[in-house]
Amino acid sequence: MNVAEYERMFHAEETQWWYVGMRAISFALLEAAPGPAPKRFLDSGCGTGNNLHHLGRRARAVGVDLSEDAIRFCRGRGVTVVRAELTALPFRDGAFDCVTSLDVLYHRWVADDRAAVRELVRVLRPGGLLLVRVPALRMLWGAHDEAVHSRHRYTRAEVERLLAGAGLEVLRATYGNFFLFPVLALRRALDRMTGRHGSDVQFLPSPLEWAFRSLLKLEARLVRHVSLPIGASVFALARKP
């Protein structure tokens, strides 16, 4: 990812509707998980560090990222981060109660997602949780995917197989961005028709920001109890035996 994209993320992540909503759904799944709350988090592929910042409010949290630019932004937030490959993490076996991988496994830098998940499982303690989020559905491929160097968009079944293949018990797998799915599908179709290029990371007019944020926060309440049938992202929560 280029520096300009990291900078857009850094300034948008705390308040822009998509980031706020994705964070709400992710944390809702964690909070609904059975067992005690995690005390040691690893955010793998932490980007500019906003999710890591929020995890650090809950417990001890450390992040890893390969990009020196991302690490520079993380240090600007004051979070703990180290530079490392996702497939060669500098931590002992079973070091963490919960590992998060939020929009990372889809990236071109992750050439082997199965090897990456195996490494995430290695540093997870027995009984620990892995939370994964990835972009969903090839039909939604568009200009933003090119801008952020996407390799793949997943189905829910693909994510479930990926986690089960690493020996994990999948507790919940759901799509996200369900209510806005028709709008996003139309946007992607228009992108292909017009040849638009560039990232989707931008602020909308305030009424739309409020409306879209509210819909995703509603989804965050729903996913505590049900799995959504379609959407623009896949979320999966799994436990290490």
CATH of domain 3-239: 3.40.50.150
- pLDDT score of 200: 67
Average per-residue pLDDT for the chain? 93
CB 150 within 8 A of CB 108: yes
Report whether pLDDT(217) > 70: yes
27-31, 193-197, 225-229: range with lowest mean pLDDT = 193-197
DSSP letters of 192-223? HHHT--S----PPPHHHHHHHHHHHHHHHHHT
Each domain of the chain, given as residue ranges in start order, spans 3-239
- pLDDT score of 83: 96
Q: Which residues fall within 8 angstroms of residue 153, CB to CB, at 6 or more apart? A: 106, 134, 135, 136, 137, 138, 140, 141, 145
Report whether pLDDT(199) > 70: no
**b/e 18-39 (16+ beta carbons within 10 angstroms → b):** bbbbbbbbbbbbbeebeeeebe
- pLDDT score of 209: 96
